[in-house]
Structure 1
């Protein structure tokens, strides 16, 4: 059945679905950078690695890209690059006159400070309606700037500002079900301190950042939900502190050859210290950085000190504590991130600890009630 649809109504309805904004670039046969703005970029296949975008057949920018050859680069724009998006979309010539770019591995324009790039060769072009579907085979790709992306939504530009995220890994489904019961307490904690609360789970020998709420004020690059780290000292102390002796030993052994005998001895004392205090505490001491080294790289981390006295010269990085299931096992760990730029006064650290433990206790109660129902 053929149905005639009003194009304006079609756009209005489809505009309720946000799309990312990308610029597809190439180099013309005369050596000039060319490109077009698209809101239809998508991944297609993992094996082989394929992506797609859908340009209007009548677009002069698309014709220029076709004429340039079989190479192109997709630049995923950041939230602060709306002006670049407009420049490329509006200008007919010299689109890159005021845009900073460098060559991608394949030689196409790579826009500086874009969120990511995907370097491709054309695999196929399909003729569909008033658009083409361009399939690209990925040759190279990387995250350039892990900031928030620029989105097109309801006829205008905006950005994605998540206050709550959860990993989608299939092997985390049981943990994510438990974490859902802690979300109200995470959100409240993040709002109170205007910071970020993250959830870490232990899966085999990996620490997985499973969920997050809020965002730390000092944070430049958002913590990546789904990110995995090896379970090793001094990371994941909460699990070592409340785990079986065998788990503690594995935590120490996984620290590898880089740990000195003195560090190993310190690691052996930390779990009991953390368990007695109820939380793991991470501090940062800013030391003078050598010439040419950024201040962040000149910072020295200090994990779980014996005393919370004499913290002058330090900043509070984070405090972490466990949430238990109905059997008394650590279901996951909550981490409340500090606000950088100020001293870690003992009163400040103690407030963070008190509030975190209060949230963990409430989450433990909610998780315990849920798991008790499952046990019955």
Structure 2
């Protein structure tokens, strides 16, 4: 066997990009170190190796201080993370001194930490450790193993985390979208009346599966003949979708903020301030940026494809974060002129939950604050009538109804 010289000619970024197109599971290897303390590290290179004898393998970096610390233990445990444990993964990948602080775990038969909520765990001893390039290949002889939860695993793909979604779950999301469309049909007359009266685009959007989805739209703007937004969706993540946060089909406050990923404290604080402004005002506003156009619309279209990749999702989230300052501005001077991307008001059911948002867009540029307030008042008028209609119809029949 020989070492190929061509490997030295491959750029590291290119190597990661190409290999990142192959999804891998995410696991945390744990043990009790020689001082009797729990230790653990994230691995994305775990694999089964042999059935007879039962062997598994993973590849830690040779520079890993955690792996060096774990070498004093005669055994280790592979914890296969569940799709809802991305925060656990991020915690172990962080620079936190105590990776087990605040995390619940229990000992495996070999005494190694098994994190609560994992899909499965595998206790192993060391069959071999071999140096290869800048990594070790660790082979573990399986001592014991068990399934903990019947749920989807966490996947790593194109530098992003996600989950495998089987057909029945896709069907469930489609049912929720259908229910949202049926609910929007109740408000179609109001939506169309606003579009005609204001010569603008008026849409009804709903929160479905953590996304904000356009479920009905009408464009009567003489100047903006836009591609139809019907069916388009964006992630309910800062600064998007604040009116829905905490309601049916949308993330709660902590999950909404968590979708920022590894954000600095200033970004987190700014997002929380935007959320609070929306809740205090009772409506949402987004301004048009100077460089917005086909590129952003194309990113939204790619995200709306059910077969989107984590890379496409990440690019849209990054674009949204870059434009965060255009959403929910703290100050709206009376003498200002405003180019609106959209103006939105909530539509609530009888229980006070936001089930739809009435959104106005494709508006003339350079609007005065007085004009913005007039548009807002007209939207709120229609939203109030729509709320009354929804409440009355649901009193007669429970359908359509969005899942909480």
- TM-score bracket for this pair, using the shorter chain length: 0.3 to 0.5
